[in-house]
């Protein structure tokens, strides 16, 4: 069912949204789709870069084998991103955080695009890092990559190679990111999962943790995911159209 008016949002979700104190929002690539950011999966397709599936080019092995190719893939994506802006869904989440209607509001994203922060969200838990940072492969110093500047090639601290500060397949998450997110998931009363295929772990375990601890679980996605059957409410449609409707 495609929902287009506030009255079509299930009453129970509206009530939960109006009364919950502790809320966790988990986002994935789909929330940025309406800004023009390509997703990794969805619509039966999987992203490919110069003939390489994204899970090959975005992998720990590829950093060891061909770091310049990895940079080329991330430079290409940053180049697209620098001309894109947050959409209505990113902005709705900023409002939810700023209105202070919830005593605890946690935003966890798997996205590396920085669009939540660009929209105005703060304290975002970035589970998979950021495309706007580089990290030294030796001393692990991190460096911001500014929108219009050429990125540094070498570490300013030790001179070693830099790599994108993102979490590739087979790599561990930034220290504390999963722990903070899992703690918020275990405590939340309402968990809203937006635009993720819910295939990649450990991020996909957060809604499972929330549900196991009694949270009301809502998914927003045009397609069904492995999480859909666990949810109390599934809103089938685009995040940019649906998020505004929940709060009214
Ligand atoms: C819309 C929309 C609109 C469209 N509105 N919606 C347990 C079980 C099985 C496997 C594992 C496990 N634990 C660990 C693993 C291995 C692996 C994993 O999960 N593999 C599975 C895929 C099988 N996980 C890892 O390797 C993780 N590391 C780890 O666990 O470390 C410990 C460890 C180390 C070594 C061995 C074992 C354990 C790290 C995962 C890192 C993921 N990195 C990536 C790439 C980041 C860099 C880059 O940008 O290139 O992160 S992969 C890619 O997938 C990216 C995303 O963040 C992530 C999730 O994707 P997401 O966000 O869900 O996007 P899509 O494209 O999949 O879906 C988009 C959705 O939007 C679709 O559903 C659309 O319908 C929807 N949509 N338009 C709303 N308008």
For 155-192, write each residue's pLDDT tens digit: 999 999 999 999 999 999 999 999 999 999 999 999 99
Residue 206 has pLDDT above 90, yes or no: yes
pLDDT exceeds cutoff 70 at 109: yes
- Ligand 1 centre distance from Cα of residue 95 (Å): 26
Q: What is the pLDDT of residue 6?
A: 65
- Residue with the smallest CA separation from ligand 1 atom 71 is 30
Average pLDDT of span 6-19? 90
| CATH code of the domain made up of 47-83+135-166 | 3.30.1600.10
Q: What is the mean pLDDT of residues 119-138?
A: 98
Closest CA to 27 of 104, 107, 88: 107
Nearest alpha carbon, ligand 1 atom 73: 197
The mean pLDDT value of the chain amounts to 95
Assign a CATH topology to domain 2-37+85-128+175-246: Rossmann fold (3.40.50)
DSSP states of the chain: -B--SGGGS-HHHHHHHHH-SEEEEEE-GGGGGGGTPPPSS-TT---EETTEEHHHHTBHHHHHH-HHHHHHHHHHHHHHHTT----HHHHHHHHHHHT--SSEEEEEE---S-HHHHHT--S-EETTEEEEEEEETTT--EEE--TTSPPPSB-TTT--BEEEEE--BT-PPPTTHHHHHHHHHHH-SEEEEES--S-STTTTHHHHHHHHTT-EEEEEESS--TTGGG-SEEEES-HHHHHHHHT-
- Does the annotation mark 128 as catalytic? yes
pLDDT digits (tens, 9 = 90+) for 62-75: 999 999 999 999 99
Span from the CA of 11 to the centroid of ligand 1 (angstroms): 31
Catalytic residue among 116, 128, 140, 161: 128
Q: Tell me the pTM.
A: 0.96
Closest ligand 1 atom, residue 111 Cα: 57
pLDDT band for 4, please (50, 70, 90 cuts).
Answer: low
Q: For residue 53, how far is its CA from the centre of ligand 1 (angstroms)?
A: 13
Domain boundaries, the chain: 2-37+85-128+175-246, 47-83+135-166
3-state secondary structure 11-75: HHHHHHHHHCCEEEEEECHHHHHHHCCCCCCCCCCCCEECCEEHHHHCEHHHHHHCHHHHHHHHH
pLDDT tens-digit series, residues 189-198:
999 999 999 9
What residues are in contact with ligand 1 under a 6 Å CB criterion? 28-30, 33-34, 39-42, 58, 110, 112, 128, 166-172, 195-197, 199-202, 220-223, 225, 238-239
Ligand 1 centre from 111 Cα, in Å?
Answer: 9
């Amino acid at each position: 069912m495609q929902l287009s008016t506030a009255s079509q949002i299930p009453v129970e979700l509206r009530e939960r949204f109006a009364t919950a104190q502790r809320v966790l929002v988990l986002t994935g690539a789909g929330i940025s789709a309406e800004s023009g950011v390509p997703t990794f999966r969805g619509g039966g397709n999987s992203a490919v870069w110069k003939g390489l599936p994204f899970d090959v080019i975005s992998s720990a092995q590829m950093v060891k084998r061909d770091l310049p190719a990895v940079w080329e893939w991330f430079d290409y994506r940053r180049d697209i991103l620098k001309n894109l802006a947050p959409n209505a869904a990113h902005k709705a989440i900023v409002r939810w955080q700023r209105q202070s209607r919830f005593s605890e509001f946690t935003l966890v994203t798997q996205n590396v695009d920085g669009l939540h922060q660009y929209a105005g969200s703060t304290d975002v838990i970035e589970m998979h890092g950021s495309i706007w940072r580089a990290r030294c492969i030796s001393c692990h110093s991190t460096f911001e990559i500014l929108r219009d500047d050429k990125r540094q090639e070498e570490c300013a601290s030790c001179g070693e190679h830099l790599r994108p500060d993102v979490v590739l397949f087979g790599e561990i998450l930034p220290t504390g990111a999963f722990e903070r997110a899992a703690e918020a998931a275990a405590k939340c009363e309402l968990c809203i999962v937006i635009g993720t295929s819910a295939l990649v772990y450990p991020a996909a375990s957060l809604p499972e943790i929330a549900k196991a601890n009694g949270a009301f679980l809502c998914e927003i996605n045009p397609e069904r995911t492995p999480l859909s059957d666990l949810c109390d409410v599934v809103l089938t449609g685009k995040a940019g159209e649906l998020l505004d409707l929940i709060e009214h």
